[in-house]
Amino acid sequence: MAVMVKHEKLKNWVQEVVELCRPGSIHWCNGTKEEYDHLMTLMVENGMADSLQNRPNSFLFRSDPSDVARVEDRTYISAPTQDEAGPTNHWIDPDELKKTMTELYTGCMQGRTLYVIPFSMGPIGSPISKIGIELTDSPYVVCNMHIMTRVGTKVLEVLGTDGDYIPCLHSIGAPLAEGQEDVPWPCAPIEKKYISHFPQENLIWSFGSGYGGNALLGKKCLALRIASAMAKREGWMAEHMLILRLTNPEGRRFHIAAAFPSACGKTNLAMLEPTIEGWKCECIGDDIAWMKIGNDGRLYAINPEAGFFGVAPGTSYNSNPMAMETLKENCIFTNCALTDDGDIWWEGFDGEPPAHAIDWKGNDWTPDSGRPAAHPNARFTAPAAQCPVICPDWEDPKGVPIDIFVFGGRRAGVVPLVNEAYNWDHGVFLGATAASETTAANIGAVGNLRRDPFAMQPFCGYHMGDYFQHWFDMGDKLGAKAPRIFYVNWFRKSPDGKWLWPGFGENSRVLKWMCERVEGRADAVETPTGLFPRKVEGKAGAVETPIGLLPRKEDLDLTGLDIDNDDVEELLRIDTKAWQAELPDIEKHFDQFGRHLPQRLKVQLENLRKRLK
């Protein structure tokens, strides 16, 4: 199927890359099933992939052990000055970085095919969507992009002769000399890996890695790092947030966007199965939200992705049954174990471990091996459309109106189950100070507290202090139509280390309280600081506390839930001394942003200090 290209600037850019990278051939991707099937067949024949007997049209890949995750210390925001990139990003001068990478790109695709992938982030033609063009020498990337984005000739039709696109150049950095035998997972050594963003030019260059967000450039690179910088300039929002629709028994819909750091149950919440009677949850997106203000003054969100790129270990019918149902066919698995009956397996999978498997490195494995069978960051790539609880409106080009923002983190103590922000500025303060105790999935000693503002620290494409200001600016534009803001902590423990909250589907009880708070908006009173505890009227009750509005036990629907009364009280307890002890860490966190820190955040910190007295 021939691809017609009428965009002269695009054709010229592709020709420039051909002359620089010197591929053996060029293929313009059309996004068809035939194209996907052909590339998969080639990769199976070449030993790069295994076809899974028990899952129709599904395949398992094993990466090189040096290429298993995002490489944050090789990821750069190359703004014109280091000050514009800010303290949370790695920076190299743009001219210097381009010179280094141009040398690496020279001849890097020799003996390989250059694939041109036209893709849309968001429904094709949506006013919130953006078009990207990824040039890559990896057929694995092409097939993943088929699932994760909308790829094909329709994108080129929308682009027309002079439409805007984000150029994304990727190479695995492993040229093949004539007659040289390829390896199952070609990539460059770690010191030659670069994932580079030039936000002033809306440009992405990636070299040396074939894995995940390093190579699927529509994902974190475009959808967050470049998009966040574009959103700041253009007056919209690109956020690391799931989107879900919750419908109450009367049929009223609430749309929730939620941001959590890693290992905090984001995908589980996106595919929630409510345990409270009459409530229904539908998934719109599990990872990224793009949001623009609509004609009615409300904030509308789309999921810019078309698939799920999820962490496999820990995913099970117990933790996330809807994800497991999504993975039955048409999926790509990376760095999972292969069972003797031709299926995948990972730690945390349902049932007993297999007696024997081939591990993610291709070696024999048994439960006595003393090592994981799957890599801790093993992944699945699955079409969102085949999720059983996908929302019928998930591809609505105008998006869905957001009622509620939720932030959260993993804390064994201090932070209660849920609290509501007093107002927008207080909500921005909650997002800006979001923190989690590190787990094995994070870098750092287990149990250390890491601030991850808005769950965006690894993904903000410009100075994070300016990003905080952008949140204030958006709130000013939205005014009374701004979403309400809440903070949750599903992970609080008792002094003897017992989980206090059951989590998973029971989290719907907390979301119900949020929805009822929103429904009672007309009756709610503006709450002055310093009066405790005064009940705040609304459909669902709340009391003022130093850290925000909290439900009382009777405000949460605990019907049918076997939970000890003391545990509920502990979940909602505010320890003033523990919160006072948090203040120095928040101050240190804010200090790194220097003159870029908005004054309004300083005011919020002082307000908290006063309330804690």
pLDDT tens per residue across span 398-435: 999 999 999 999 999 999 999 999 999 999 999 999 99
Residue 262 burial (CB count, 10 A): 16
For 23, counting Cβ atoms within 10 Å of its Cβ (0-12 exposed, 13-18 middle, 19+ buried), the class is buried
Active site residues: 264
Please tell me the predicted confidence (pLDDT) of residue 467: 98
The per-residue pLDDT for range 571-599, each reduced to its tens digit, is: 999 999 999 999 999 999 999 999 999 99
At 523, the pLDDT band (50, 70, 90 cuts) reads: very low
| DSSP tag of 537 | P
d(C-alpha 251, C-alpha 515), whole Å: 12
Please tell me the predicted confidence (pLDDT) of residue 145: 98
Q: Which amino acid is at 153?
A: T
pLDDT higher than threshold 60 for residue 524: no
Locate 564 and state its tokens.
């000890």
At 539, the pLDDT band (50, 70, 90 cuts) reads: low
Nearest of 373, 10, 356 to residue 159 by alpha carbon: 10
The per-residue pLDDT for range 377-386, each reduced to its tens digit, is: 999 999 999 9
Across the beta sheet with 299-302, what order do the strands follow? 237-239, 289-293, 299-302, 400-401
Residue 34 burial (CB count, 10 A): 9
At 442, the pLDDT band (50, 70, 90 cuts) reads: very low
- Return the beta strands (E) in 11-58 as ranges: 25-28, 49-51
- Give the per-residue SS3 of 111-177: CCEEEEEEEEECCCCCCCCEEEEEEECCHHHHHHHHHHCEECHHHHHHHCCCCCCEEEEEECCCCCC
pLDDT higher than threshold 80 for residue 531: no
pLDDT higher than threshold 60 for residue 527: no
Please tell me the predicted confidence (pLDDT) of residue 1: 62
Q: For the chain, list the domains and their CATH numbers.
A: 8-30+66-234 (3.40.449.10), 239-303+394-596 (3.90.228.20), 307-384 (2.170.8.10)
At 241, the pLDDT band (50, 70, 90 cuts) reads: very high
Q: What's the mean pLDDT when you consider all of the chain? A: 94
What is the maximum span of the chain, computed from C-alpha positions, in angstroms? 78
The per-residue pLDDT for range 315-364, each reduced to its tens digit, is: 999 999 999 999 999 999 999 999 999 999 999 999 999 999 999 999 99
This prediction's pTM? 0.95
Whether residue 533 is preceded by a cis peptide bond, meaning omega within 30 degrees of 0, is: yes
Contact 190/154 with Cβ under 8 angstroms?
no
Residue 174 burial (CB count, 10 A): 22
For 5, counting Cβ atoms within 10 Å of its Cβ (0-12 exposed, 13-18 middle, 19+ buried), the class is middle
